Structure 1
């Protein structure tokens, strides 16, 4: 298990290094995950080595969200008196996202051909 965790950490660190040195606007862990995916495709034996540890990490994934939840609760106190602005921003951004998604979908779908009446 320790070797598998070390392998995962190495891929994350390599991804962070590539992101830092290249200046790409892609997060380092995403680059590391892509490198890990390529390595898993190239060396299937690596899958056997990482499978048990990855399964255990996924089983306890909910624990990793606890610090984020605590941060949200702590930060909520600083939003006191700003709830109207936050609500307006949420509603407007949601409507804008729906509109842009509909326009993109319409542009990608094109105009369907009209069925011929017989």
Structure 2
């Protein structure tokens, strides 16, 4: 895992006003925690933002970023693509997170993974789209 690259990508997000940080799960798995990701929830009586956590793939950036998790019990879980197909629960930052079967770079609507173009700074676009299509 290339921590220096992740730090640069997170700096790009922060410069654009998106809060994101590298965190570690209870079982020592690195993840990126995106805070206050915009959603399409308002018309449905749901929050306009939510926190989302994304595991850092082993060997990053070679393998694609994959999956996304929402807090267990989130009203978005049953509405987002892949949300009802749980990929497990992770613990981080004092919260339990349910991983959804969301694969934007592997047939899920995004372009094929290209480690020279994409990263955590571009994955936010997929998360926003994911949370908007409710």
TM normalised by structure 2 equals: 0.16
Could you say which structure has the greater relative contact order, defined with CA pairs below 8 angstroms and 6 or more residues apart? 2
Q: Which has the higher strand share?
A: 2
Bigger-Rg structure (1/2): 1
TM normalised by structure 1 equals: 0.18
